[in-house]
Structure formats: C-alpha cells, structure tokens
C-alpha cells in the first residue's frame, strides 16, 4: 500500500503540473526530499498526511487506496475513429479498473504474470517486409495453423500471458493495447464484424510486442492502411499473422481474374480466413499477387464487411475465460465479494452468475 499511495501521489502531482517543492509546501513538509521518498515508496504516509493530500489535491480517498484502479501506471494506445478526448479518457478509466482488478486478483489466486516478456526485434527503421516476416514466423512458431484468426486470442493468453478482453466499447473505439510494469492487456470491441475484430487484435499484438522499441501513440486512427510508420508496420505484421502466405497457396493465381471473379474470390477467401476483403486484397498486393492499381479499382461496397455490418454473426462473450476464472477463484477464496465484482463489471449479481455459466466456470457461490 505504501508504494501504491506514493505512485498515485506522484501521478496526481504530475497531472497538476506541481513540482516536488510545491507539493512539499502544500503538505507541510520541510523539503522536497520527503515528497521524493514518499513517491518512491521509501517513506510511508501517515493517516493525517493522507487526509491532507485528499484535501489539498482535491482527490477522493479512494484514488489513493483503491487497488482496482490504474493511476499513473498503465499506458494505453487506443485504436479509434473520431472519439473525443474526454469520452476516451472516461472509457479508459473504466477499462483500467478491469485490468487493475485482474492484476491484483490473479496474483492473489496464484496466476502471476509471466516473468519474461516476448518482444519482436523490430524498430522504426525496420522495413515492411521485416514486419511481414515477423508475422509469418509468429504464426509458424506458435502453430496457429491455416486460419490463425481462430486461435490467436487463446494463444496470446496461454503462451504470451497477455490479457485479452472482449468489451462493449464506446462508439468509435475499436480496441486498445495497455502496458503495465507487470502485465500486458488488449481490449477489443466485441461487436465489430469478425474480420475487423481479428485485425484489431493482431494490430494491438504488434504494439505489445514492440512497445519498448517504439511506444505507440495514445490514440491512433483505426484503418487497414496508411498512418505513421509504426502503424504501417503494425498493419503489415497483422496482415501477415492473419493471412500467412501458406494459407493462400491453395487458391492459385489472382492477377488473371476478371473483376467480378476477383471480388467473388476475395469475399469467399476472406470468409474462410475470418478477415475482411480489404485486408486480404492489400495482403495480396504486398505478396505481389495483385497490383496496387487493381486493388484500388475494386468497388468498396462489393467487398465483404467494408464498412458494413455482418448479418447473423455471433458476438463473443464479454471479457475472456481467464479473466472470469480469476474472478471466480478470488470470490471463492474470499479475496473479493460478489457484489464488488458486480459493481466492477457494471452488472447485477445475477448477470455475474450468467457470465460464469457462459464460460462454463463453476460459480463460487449460489447465484
């Protein structure tokens, strides 16, 4: 708790653009070294000092004491379209609570994050071909098969220790990557059409695996092509992960097809690989199977899911099985109450019980 309070005092001080000297004066300390010792967790804060910080910094007590909160810790990179900054910040606060709760409860029930993080040996100067080769190698080494989209989320959680959450995001938010000192997480808007959902997942995976070498922007425009160099590298990696060359081999030549036949095959193969036709056509361009001119000439409305809702497509369940399993274990072990979990997820107690049943997780109590 000492380290948590210290880090949150530091986060709030920096948010308010206060120096350590200024904060020392507000809290009645003799020098800035006292503030520094508090912020680094060397010196604990007394109850009286904490109440004074609540008053002087105009923050609720829960900001300093609630473990189910990210404050000055998590760094997010949002994939979105036209979302106003205030609304994005509000959603980020809520999403941060799910990630923070998982971090705390997973450790308490014995499901610690991996000691080592995997990383791609890429940087801003890497070529797009390098990113595509990394994607192909990722598919091969983790045995994702000919339709990687079917297994990607599960492999990310099981093999890489990345928390993947399917969420009901605010309009315009496609997903996000989140980096904590001891945990990586990805949020995906579950009501997106499957092809876009899978592309967002593979795109955010790239950011997680290259975060230290090229930290992503806090907010990026969601698109399959274009953007800054890091986003273009991410798109090339994502396309190679979801559409590896070996998955396209059975479908033969593309460049000799008439437009109508090309559109029909694009849509059919995109369905089979669980991607959008747009992502598929640009992957074919990257592989030299189509010219850029031919790809651009295709009418957007004719391509599968390009801006259109999928009809009769199942929506994934909220959150994920590892997330729900941790919640159930934490309730069973007395680390958290059912009602607090319900409040955290913005659900009724009955809805929490239904969430457990949906993932076939044994309910720790009668719900």
At 353 the pLDDT is 93
Backbone dihedral angles phi then psi of residue 221, each to the nearest 5 degrees: -80, 130
At 367 the pLDDT is 65
Task: Please give the residue range of the domain that contains residue 329.
Answer: 321-358
Assigned domain for 366 exists = no
Angstrom CA distances, 50 to 14, 20, 31, 99, 250, stand at 17, 16, 17, 25, 66
d(CA 148, CA 294): 26
Assigned domain for 7 exists = yes
Assigned domain for 342 exists = yes
Where among 235, 262, 286 does a domain terminate? 235
pLDDT surpasses 70 at 336: yes
Helix pair angle (32-39, 2-15), 10° resolution? 120
Q: How confident is the model at residue 227 (pLDDT cuts 50, 70, 90)?
A: confident
At 91 the pLDDT is 93
Are residues 104 and 194 both part of a single domain? yes
Are residues 190 and 282 both part of a single domain? no
What stretches of 150-193 show up as alpha helix (H) in DSSP? 152-160
pLDDT surpasses 80 at 312: no
Assigned domain for 316 exists = no
Query: Any idea what the CATH number is for the domain that residue 46 is in?
Result: 1.10.260.40
Are residues 95 and 222 both part of a single domain? yes
At 309 the pLDDT is 56
Collapse the DSSP code of 190 into the 3-class scheme (helix H, G, I; strand E, B; otherwise coil) and give the result. coil
Where among 259, 275, 302 does a domain terminate? 302
Are residues 199 and 92 both part of a single domain? yes
- Secondary structure tally for the chain: helices H, strands E: 17, 5
Where among 235, 255, 282 does a domain terminate? 235
At 15 the pLDDT is 84
At 101 the pLDDT is 95
Number of domain units in the chain: 4
Are residues 93 and 191 both part of a single domain? yes
Assigned domain for 314 exists = no
Are residues 165 and 92 both part of a single domain? yes
| Sole residue written with tokens 């806090």 | 218
d(CA 224, CA 222): 7
Assigned domain for 212 exists = yes
More confident residue, 70 or 195: 195
d(CA 154, CA 359): 14
d(CA 33, CA 11): 17
d(CA 138, CA 106): 27
Give the pLDDT confidence of 14-72 residue by residue, as tens digits. Answer: 888 999 999 999 999 988 999 999 988 899 999 999 999 899 888 899 888 888 988 77
Are residues 139 and 225 both part of a single domain? yes
At 343 the pLDDT is 94
The pTM for the full model equals: 0.90
Assigned domain for 315 exists = no
Assigned domain for 288 exists = yes
Helix pair angle (194-209, 277-286), 10° resolution? 50
- Are 157 and 163 a contacting pair, CB within 8 Å? yes
Give the pLDDT confidence of 93-129 residue by residue, as tens digits. Answer: 999 999 999 999 999 999 988 888 999 999 999 999 9
List of residues 6+ apart from 157 with CB closer than 8 A: 163, 164, 320, 322
Give the pLDDT confidence of 286-311 residue by residue, as tens digits. Answer: 999 999 999 999 998 888 875 555 55
Are residues 15 and 144 both part of a single domain? no
Are residues 17 and 109 both part of a single domain? no
Are residues 194 and 146 both part of a single domain? yes
Are residues 179 and 231 both part of a single domain? yes
Are residues 79 and 40 both part of a single domain? no
Pick from 1-5, 36-40, 238-242 the range whose average pLDDT is largest.
Answer: 238-242
pLDDT over 90 for what percent of the chain?
71
pLDDT surpasses 90 at 207: yes
d(CA 221, CA 172): 10
């Amino acid at each position: 708790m000492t380290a948590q309070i210290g880090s949150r005092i530091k986060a709030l001080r920096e948010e308010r653009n206060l120096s350590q000297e200024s904060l020392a004066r507000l809290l009645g300390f003799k020098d800035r070294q006292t503030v520094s010792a508090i912020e680094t967790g060397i010196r604990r804060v007394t109850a009286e000092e904490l109440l004074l910080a609540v008053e002087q910094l105009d923050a609720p007590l829960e900001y300093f004491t609630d473990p189910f909160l990210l404050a000055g810790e998590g760094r997010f990179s949002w994939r979105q379209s036209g979302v106003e900054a205030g609304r994005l910040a509000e959603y980020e606060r809520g999403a941060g609570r799910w990630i923070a709760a998982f971090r705390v409860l997973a450790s308490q029930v014995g499901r610690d994050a991996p000691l080592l993080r995997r990383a791609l040996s890429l940087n801003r100067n890497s070529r797009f071909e390098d990113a595509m080769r990394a994607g192909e190698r990722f598919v091969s080494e983790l045995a994702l098969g000919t339709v990687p989209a079917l297994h990607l989320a599960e492999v990310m959680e099981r093999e890489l220790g990345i928390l993947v959450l399917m969420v009901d995001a605010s309009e315009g938010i496609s997903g996000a990557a989140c980096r904590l000192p001891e945990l990586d997480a990805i949020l995906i808007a579950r009501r997106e059409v499957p092809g876009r959902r899978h592309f967002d997942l593979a795109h955010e995976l790239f950011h997680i695996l290259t975060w230290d070498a090229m930290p992503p922007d806090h907010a990026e425009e969601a698109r399959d092509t274009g953007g800054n160099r890091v986003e273009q590298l991410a798109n090339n990696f994502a396309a190679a992960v979801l559409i590896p060359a070996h998955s396209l081999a059975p479908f033969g030549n593309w460049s000799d097809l008439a437009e109508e036949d090309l559109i029909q095959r694009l849509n059919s193969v995109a369905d089979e690989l669980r991607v959008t036709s747009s992502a598929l056509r640009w992957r074919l361009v990257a592989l030299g199977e189509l010219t850029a001119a031919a790809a651009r000439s295709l009418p957007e409305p004719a391509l599968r899911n390009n801006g259109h809702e999928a009809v009769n497509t199942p929506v994934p369940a909220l959150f994920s099985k590892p997330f729900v399993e941790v919640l159930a274990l934490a309730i069973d072990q007395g680390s958290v109450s059912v009602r607090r979990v319900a409040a955290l997820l913005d659900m009724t107690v009955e809805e929490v019980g239904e969430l457990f049943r949906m993932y076939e997780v044994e309910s720790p109590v009668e719900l």
